[in-house]
Protein backbone atom coordinates (compact mmCIF):
# COMPACT_ATOMS: atom_id res chain seq x y z
CA UNK A 1 0.00 0.00 0.00
CA UNK A 2 1.18 3.53 -0.80
CA UNK A 3 -0.42 6.93 -0.33
CA UNK A 4 -0.03 9.42 -3.18
CA UNK A 5 -0.43 13.15 -2.57
CA UNK A 6 -2.38 14.49 -5.58
CA UNK A 7 -1.07 17.91 -6.61
CA UNK A 8 -2.42 17.59 -10.14
CA UNK A 9 -3.56 14.77 -12.42
CA UNK A 10 -0.35 14.58 -14.44
CA UNK A 11 1.90 14.35 -11.40
CA UNK A 12 -0.36 11.75 -9.79
CA UNK A 13 -0.31 9.58 -12.91
CA UNK A 14 3.48 9.80 -13.12
CA UNK A 15 3.81 8.85 -9.45
CA UNK A 16 1.43 5.94 -9.96
CA UNK A 17 3.46 4.78 -12.94
CA UNK A 18 6.72 5.05 -10.98
CA UNK A 19 5.37 2.89 -8.15
CA UNK A 20 3.51 0.30 -10.24
CA UNK A 21 5.52 0.27 -13.43
CA UNK A 22 2.27 0.53 -15.41
CA UNK A 23 2.10 3.19 -18.09
CA UNK A 24 -1.22 5.01 -17.65
CA UNK A 25 -3.45 5.66 -20.66
CA UNK A 26 -3.56 9.18 -21.98
CA UNK A 27 -4.96 11.15 -24.88
CA UNK A 28 -1.72 10.79 -26.85
CA UNK A 29 -1.25 7.06 -26.29
CA UNK A 30 -2.40 5.02 -29.29
CA UNK A 31 -3.68 1.47 -29.17
CA UNK A 32 -1.01 -1.19 -28.67
CA UNK A 33 -1.26 -4.87 -29.52
CA UNK A 34 -0.44 -7.79 -27.27
CA UNK A 35 1.40 -10.87 -28.62
CA UNK A 36 -1.81 -12.92 -28.65
CA UNK A 37 -3.63 -10.29 -30.74
CA UNK A 38 -1.55 -10.70 -33.89
CA UNK A 39 -0.89 -13.52 -36.32
CA UNK A 40 2.56 -15.11 -36.04
CA UNK A 41 4.43 -16.44 -39.03
CA UNK A 42 7.67 -18.38 -39.52
CA UNK A 43 9.78 -18.50 -42.68
CA UNK A 44 12.57 -21.02 -43.19
CA UNK A 45 15.31 -18.98 -44.85
CA UNK A 46 17.78 -21.87 -45.18
CA UNK A 47 18.83 -24.78 -42.99
CA UNK A 48 19.43 -23.47 -39.48
CA UNK A 49 17.97 -20.01 -40.10
CA UNK A 50 14.30 -19.20 -39.51
CA UNK A 51 12.61 -15.81 -39.28
CA UNK A 52 9.65 -15.09 -37.04
CA UNK A 53 7.30 -12.19 -37.66
CA UNK A 54 4.10 -10.77 -36.21
CA UNK A 55 1.45 -9.64 -38.68
CA UNK A 56 -1.65 -7.49 -38.61
CA UNK A 57 -3.89 -6.18 -41.40
CA UNK A 58 -4.35 -6.63 -45.12
CA UNK A 59 -3.23 -4.60 -48.07
CA UNK A 60 0.13 -3.38 -49.41
CA UNK A 61 2.96 -4.97 -47.43
CA UNK A 62 5.08 -3.12 -44.88
CA UNK A 63 7.99 -4.72 -43.03
CA UNK A 64 9.18 -3.27 -39.71
CA UNK A 65 12.71 -4.01 -38.47
CA UNK A 66 13.74 -3.33 -34.87
CA UNK A 67 17.13 -2.64 -33.29
CA UNK A 68 19.18 -3.60 -30.20
CA UNK A 69 18.14 -4.91 -27.69
CA UNK A 70 14.55 -5.23 -28.83
CA UNK A 71 11.82 -7.44 -30.25
CA UNK A 72 9.05 -7.26 -32.83
CA UNK A 73 6.98 -6.00 -29.87
CA UNK A 74 8.84 -2.69 -30.13
CA UNK A 75 6.32 -1.92 -32.91
CA UNK A 76 3.26 -2.68 -30.76
CA UNK A 77 1.89 0.88 -31.13
CA UNK A 78 2.53 1.04 -34.89
CA UNK A 79 1.01 -2.30 -35.97
CA UNK A 80 -2.63 -1.34 -35.21
CA UNK A 81 -2.26 2.11 -36.78
CA UNK A 82 -0.70 0.76 -39.97
CA UNK A 83 -3.19 -2.12 -40.25
CA UNK A 84 -6.07 0.29 -39.64
CA UNK A 85 -4.81 2.45 -42.50
CA UNK A 86 -5.08 -0.48 -44.93
CA UNK A 87 -1.63 -2.03 -44.82
CA UNK A 88 -0.37 -5.54 -44.19
CA UNK A 89 2.07 -4.70 -41.39
CA UNK A 90 4.72 -7.31 -40.55
CA UNK A 91 7.11 -6.78 -37.64
CA UNK A 92 10.19 -9.01 -37.80
CA UNK A 93 12.12 -10.56 -34.99
CA UNK A 94 15.53 -9.75 -36.43
CA UNK A 95 18.10 -12.53 -36.69
CA UNK A 96 19.40 -13.42 -33.24
CA UNK A 97 16.35 -12.05 -31.44
CA UNK A 98 13.15 -13.57 -30.07
CA UNK A 99 11.77 -16.51 -32.01
CA UNK A 100 14.02 -15.96 -35.02
CA UNK A 101 17.09 -18.17 -35.24
CA UNK A 102 20.26 -17.10 -33.43
CA UNK A 103 23.13 -18.90 -35.20
CA UNK A 104 26.41 -18.51 -33.26
CA UNK A 105 28.75 -17.51 -36.10
CA UNK A 106 29.61 -13.81 -36.22
CA UNK A 107 29.53 -13.84 -40.04
CA UNK A 108 25.80 -14.66 -39.95
CA UNK A 109 25.21 -11.08 -38.76
CA UNK A 110 27.08 -9.16 -41.43
CA UNK A 111 24.88 -6.67 -43.24
CA UNK A 112 25.49 -8.51 -46.51
CA UNK A 113 24.20 -11.79 -45.09
CA UNK A 114 21.29 -10.20 -43.24
CA UNK A 115 20.14 -8.37 -46.38
CA UNK A 116 20.45 -11.55 -48.45
CA UNK A 117 18.32 -13.37 -45.88
CA UNK A 118 15.79 -10.55 -45.95
CA UNK A 119 15.42 -10.91 -49.73
CA UNK A 120 14.90 -14.65 -49.28
CA UNK A 121 12.23 -13.81 -46.69
CA UNK A 122 10.41 -11.69 -49.30
CA UNK A 123 10.80 -14.38 -51.95
CA UNK A 124 9.35 -17.11 -49.78
CA UNK A 125 6.34 -14.96 -48.89
CA UNK A 126 5.84 -14.09 -52.57
CA UNK A 127 6.35 -10.36 -51.98
CA UNK A 128 7.76 -8.61 -55.04
CA UNK A 129 8.00 -5.25 -53.25
CA UNK A 130 7.43 -3.87 -49.76
CA UNK A 131 7.81 -0.65 -47.86
CA UNK A 132 10.66 -1.19 -45.41
CA UNK A 133 10.80 0.75 -42.13
CA UNK A 134 13.63 0.27 -39.64
CA UNK A 135 14.89 1.62 -36.33
CA UNK A 136 18.46 1.54 -34.99
CA UNK A 137 20.12 -1.55 -36.56
CA UNK A 138 16.85 -2.10 -38.41
CA UNK A 139 17.39 1.31 -39.99
CA UNK A 140 20.82 0.20 -41.21
CA UNK A 141 19.20 -2.86 -42.79
CA UNK A 142 16.59 -0.65 -44.43
CA UNK A 143 19.20 1.62 -46.04
CA UNK A 144 21.33 -1.32 -47.17
CA UNK A 145 18.41 -3.14 -48.77
CA UNK A 146 17.51 0.13 -50.52
CA UNK A 147 21.11 0.47 -51.71
CA UNK A 148 21.70 -3.09 -52.93
CA UNK A 149 18.16 -4.31 -53.75
CA UNK A 150 16.14 -1.19 -54.67
CA UNK A 151 13.88 -3.16 -57.00
CA UNK A 152 12.39 -4.96 -53.98
CA UNK A 153 11.22 -1.79 -52.22
CA UNK A 154 8.45 0.70 -52.91
CA UNK A 155 9.94 3.06 -50.36
CA UNK A 156 12.25 3.08 -47.34
CA UNK A 157 12.10 4.79 -43.94
CA UNK A 158 14.48 4.92 -41.00
CA UNK A 159 13.97 6.06 -37.43
CA UNK A 160 17.05 7.71 -35.89
CA UNK A 161 19.58 5.87 -38.10
CA UNK A 162 21.08 8.04 -40.86
CA UNK A 163 22.61 6.83 -44.11
CA UNK A 164 26.18 7.64 -45.06
CA UNK A 165 28.23 5.85 -47.72
CA UNK A 166 31.38 4.02 -46.69
CA UNK A 167 34.58 6.01 -47.14
CA UNK A 168 37.70 4.30 -48.50
CA UNK A 169 41.08 4.74 -46.88
CA UNK A 170 40.02 4.84 -43.23
CA UNK A 171 39.73 1.88 -40.88
CA UNK A 172 36.14 1.74 -39.55
CA UNK A 173 37.17 0.56 -36.08
CA UNK A 174 39.55 3.51 -35.82
CA UNK A 175 36.67 5.78 -36.77
CA UNK A 176 34.63 4.34 -33.89
CA UNK A 177 37.48 5.01 -31.48
CA UNK A 178 37.35 8.70 -32.34
CA UNK A 179 33.70 9.00 -31.21
CA UNK A 180 33.48 8.80 -27.39
CA UNK A 181 29.78 7.80 -27.36
CA UNK A 182 30.57 4.75 -29.50
CA UNK A 183 32.94 3.24 -26.92
CA UNK A 184 30.25 0.72 -25.96
CA UNK A 185 30.48 -0.73 -29.48
CA UNK A 186 34.19 -1.36 -28.97
CA UNK A 187 33.37 -3.06 -25.65
CA UNK A 188 30.97 -5.33 -27.56
CA UNK A 189 33.70 -6.60 -29.91
CA UNK A 190 35.15 -9.42 -27.77
CA UNK A 191 32.75 -12.40 -27.89
CA UNK A 192 31.58 -13.53 -24.49
CA UNK A 193 32.43 -10.40 -22.49
CA UNK A 194 29.30 -8.29 -22.98
CA UNK A 195 27.17 -11.45 -23.10
CA UNK A 196 28.20 -12.33 -19.55
CA UNK A 197 27.33 -8.86 -18.28
CA UNK A 198 24.00 -8.43 -20.07
CA UNK A 199 22.76 -11.98 -19.40
CA UNK A 200 23.59 -11.91 -15.68
CA UNK A 201 20.28 -10.19 -14.87
CA UNK A 202 18.25 -9.72 -18.04
CA UNK A 203 15.46 -7.80 -16.34
CA UNK A 204 17.95 -5.29 -14.91
CA UNK A 205 19.69 -4.99 -18.30
CA UNK A 206 16.48 -4.13 -20.12
CA UNK A 207 15.19 -1.75 -17.44
CA UNK A 208 18.47 0.17 -17.62
CA UNK A 209 18.86 0.25 -21.40
CA UNK A 210 15.28 0.88 -22.54
CA UNK A 211 14.25 4.11 -20.80
CA UNK A 212 12.88 7.42 -22.04
CA UNK A 213 14.70 10.74 -21.74
CA UNK A 214 11.88 12.16 -19.58
CA UNK A 215 13.05 13.37 -16.14
CA UNK A 216 10.61 11.11 -14.27
CA UNK A 217 11.96 8.05 -16.09
CA UNK A 218 15.66 8.69 -15.50
CA UNK A 219 17.82 6.69 -13.15
CA UNK A 220 19.82 8.34 -10.32
CA UNK A 221 22.96 7.62 -12.40
CA UNK A 222 22.81 8.12 -16.15
CA UNK A 223 23.86 5.36 -18.52
CA UNK A 224 27.25 6.49 -19.82
CA UNK A 225 28.19 5.14 -23.24
CA UNK A 226 31.69 6.58 -22.96
CA UNK A 227 34.68 4.89 -21.27
CA UNK A 228 32.78 1.61 -21.08
CA UNK A 229 35.95 -0.43 -21.63
CA UNK A 230 37.75 1.57 -18.93
CA UNK A 231 34.92 0.99 -16.44
CA UNK A 232 34.83 -2.72 -17.24
CA UNK A 233 31.23 -2.91 -18.39
CA UNK A 234 28.26 -1.07 -19.83
CA UNK A 235 26.13 -1.31 -16.70
CA UNK A 236 28.86 -0.73 -14.11
CA UNK A 237 27.73 1.82 -11.50
CA UNK A 238 24.04 1.55 -12.42
CA UNK A 239 21.43 0.47 -9.84
CA UNK A 240 21.23 -3.24 -9.08
CA UNK A 241 17.43 -3.05 -8.80
CA UNK A 242 16.35 -0.19 -11.05
CA UNK A 243 12.75 1.00 -11.05
CA UNK A 244 10.55 0.02 -13.97
CA UNK A 245 10.82 1.97 -17.21
CA UNK A 246 7.70 3.65 -18.51
CA UNK A 247 8.60 2.28 -21.94
CA UNK A 248 8.37 -1.32 -20.73
CA UNK A 249 5.29 -1.78 -18.54
CA UNK A 250 5.27 -5.17 -16.76
CA UNK A 251 3.60 -7.27 -19.53
CA UNK A 252 6.02 -5.96 -22.18
CA UNK A 253 9.02 -6.31 -19.88
CA UNK A 254 8.05 -9.90 -19.03
CA UNK A 255 7.76 -10.71 -22.75
CA UNK A 256 11.17 -9.20 -23.51
CA UNK A 257 12.78 -11.04 -20.59
CA UNK A 258 11.38 -14.39 -21.73
CA UNK A 259 12.62 -13.79 -25.26
CA UNK A 260 16.15 -12.90 -24.22
CA UNK A 261 16.35 -15.77 -21.74
CA UNK A 262 15.56 -18.10 -24.64
CA UNK A 263 17.79 -16.54 -27.30
CA UNK A 264 20.56 -14.96 -25.20
CA UNK A 265 22.62 -11.94 -26.22
CA UNK A 266 25.25 -13.57 -28.42
CA UNK A 267 23.27 -13.16 -31.64
CA UNK A 268 22.21 -9.57 -30.91
CA UNK A 269 25.79 -8.58 -29.99
CA UNK A 270 27.17 -10.25 -33.12
CA UNK A 271 25.52 -7.46 -35.13
CA UNK A 272 28.29 -5.19 -33.79
CA UNK A 273 31.12 -7.59 -34.65
CA UNK A 274 31.17 -7.17 -38.43
CA UNK A 275 32.46 -3.60 -38.55
CA UNK A 276 35.17 -4.16 -41.15
CA UNK A 277 33.07 -6.67 -43.13
CA UNK A 278 30.16 -4.25 -43.33
CA UNK A 279 32.48 -1.45 -44.40
CA UNK A 280 34.07 -3.57 -47.16
CA UNK A 281 30.65 -4.57 -48.49
CA UNK A 282 29.34 -1.01 -48.40
CA UNK A 283 32.39 0.22 -50.35
CA UNK A 284 31.11 -1.69 -53.39
CA UNK A 285 28.18 0.72 -53.56
CA UNK A 286 29.86 3.96 -52.44
CA UNK A 287 29.09 5.71 -55.74
CA UNK A 288 25.41 4.72 -55.77
CA UNK A 289 22.50 6.82 -54.60
CA UNK A 290 19.21 5.67 -53.10
CA UNK A 291 16.56 6.96 -55.48
CA UNK A 292 13.51 5.53 -53.73
CA UNK A 293 10.97 7.64 -51.84
CA UNK A 294 12.62 7.85 -48.41
CA UNK A 295 11.91 9.16 -44.94
CA UNK A 296 14.23 9.87 -42.02
CA UNK A 297 12.80 10.60 -38.57
CA UNK A 298 15.41 12.09 -36.23
CA UNK A 299 15.15 12.37 -32.45
CA UNK A 300 16.57 15.38 -30.64
CA UNK A 301 17.55 13.53 -27.45
CA UNK A 302 19.13 10.40 -28.94
CA UNK A 303 22.59 10.25 -27.32
CA UNK A 304 24.15 8.13 -30.09
CA UNK A 305 22.23 8.54 -33.35
CA UNK A 306 22.24 12.31 -33.12
CA UNK A 307 20.44 14.33 -35.83
CA UNK A 308 23.68 16.05 -36.86
CA UNK A 309 24.95 12.70 -38.19
CA UNK A 310 22.37 12.97 -40.98
CA UNK A 311 23.57 16.31 -42.33
CA UNK A 312 23.98 16.19 -46.10
CA UNK A 313 22.04 12.96 -46.61
CA UNK A 314 20.13 14.46 -49.53
CA UNK A 315 23.29 14.09 -51.64
CA UNK A 316 22.92 10.31 -51.44
CA UNK A 317 19.13 10.07 -50.95
CA UNK A 318 17.65 12.64 -53.37
CA UNK A 319 13.98 11.91 -52.54
CA UNK A 320 14.56 12.13 -48.80
CA UNK A 321 11.86 13.61 -46.60
CA UNK A 322 12.74 14.57 -43.06
CA UNK A 323 10.73 14.71 -39.87
CA UNK A 324 12.08 15.57 -36.44
CA UNK A 325 10.91 14.80 -32.90
CA UNK A 326 12.86 17.13 -30.65
CA UNK A 327 11.63 15.80 -27.30
CA UNK A 328 12.39 12.18 -28.05
CA UNK A 329 15.24 9.89 -27.10
CA UNK A 330 16.44 6.73 -28.80
CA UNK A 331 13.33 4.54 -28.42
CA UNK A 332 11.20 6.49 -30.89
CA UNK A 333 8.36 3.98 -31.41
CA UNK A 334 7.78 3.76 -27.66
CA UNK A 335 8.56 7.32 -26.56
CA UNK A 336 6.46 9.20 -29.11
CA UNK A 337 4.11 6.59 -30.63
CA UNK A 338 1.24 8.92 -31.53
CA UNK A 339 3.48 11.48 -33.23
CA UNK A 340 5.41 8.77 -35.04
CA UNK A 341 2.22 7.10 -36.27
CA UNK A 342 1.03 10.41 -37.71
CA UNK A 343 4.36 10.95 -39.45
CA UNK A 344 4.43 7.47 -40.96
CA UNK A 345 0.80 7.54 -42.14
CA UNK A 346 1.17 10.99 -43.74
CA UNK A 347 4.30 9.84 -45.57
CA UNK A 348 2.73 6.56 -46.67
CA UNK A 349 -0.33 8.34 -48.08
CA UNK A 350 1.94 10.39 -50.35
CA UNK A 351 3.66 7.36 -51.91
CA UNK A 352 2.88 6.37 -55.50
CA UNK A 353 0.23 3.63 -55.76
CA UNK A 354 1.38 0.07 -55.29
CA UNK A 355 2.19 -1.45 -58.71
CA UNK A 356 -0.26 -4.04 -59.95
CA UNK A 357 0.94 -7.66 -60.14
CA UNK A 358 2.31 -8.51 -63.65
CA UNK A 359 -0.52 -11.02 -64.34
CA UNK A 360 -3.31 -8.75 -63.16
CA UNK A 361 -5.90 -8.01 -65.91
CA UNK A 362 -5.76 -4.31 -65.11
CA UNK A 363 -1.98 -4.21 -65.50
CA UNK A 364 -2.43 -4.46 -69.30
CA UNK A 365 -4.93 -1.58 -69.58
- Report the catalytic residues: 136, 272, 330
The stretches of the chain forming alpha helices (DSSP H) are: 9-20, 78-84, 111-124, 137-148, 172-177, 183-187, 193-200, 202-209, 228-231, 250-263, 266-270, 275-283, 332-335, 337-349
CB count, 10 Å around CB of 77?
Answer: 20
Give all strands (DSSP E) within 47-129, no chain letters: 49-56, 61-65, 88-93
Distance (Å, whole) CA 332 – CA 307: 13
Closest CA to 109 of 301, 263, 219: 263
3-state secondary structure of 222: coil
Distance of alpha carbon 203 from the chain centroid = 19
Distance (Å, whole) CA 228 – CA 186: 9
Amino acid sequence: MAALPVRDTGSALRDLQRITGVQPPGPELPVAVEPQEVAHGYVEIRPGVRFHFAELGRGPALVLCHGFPESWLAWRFQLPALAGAGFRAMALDMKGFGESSAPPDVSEYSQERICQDFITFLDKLGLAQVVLIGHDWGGAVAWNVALFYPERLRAVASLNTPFRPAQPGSDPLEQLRRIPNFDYQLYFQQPGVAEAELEKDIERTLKILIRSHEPEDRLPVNLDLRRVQERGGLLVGLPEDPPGSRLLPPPALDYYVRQFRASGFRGPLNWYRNVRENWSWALRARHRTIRLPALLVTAGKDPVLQPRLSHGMEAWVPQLQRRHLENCGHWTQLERPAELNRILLEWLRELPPEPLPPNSPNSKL
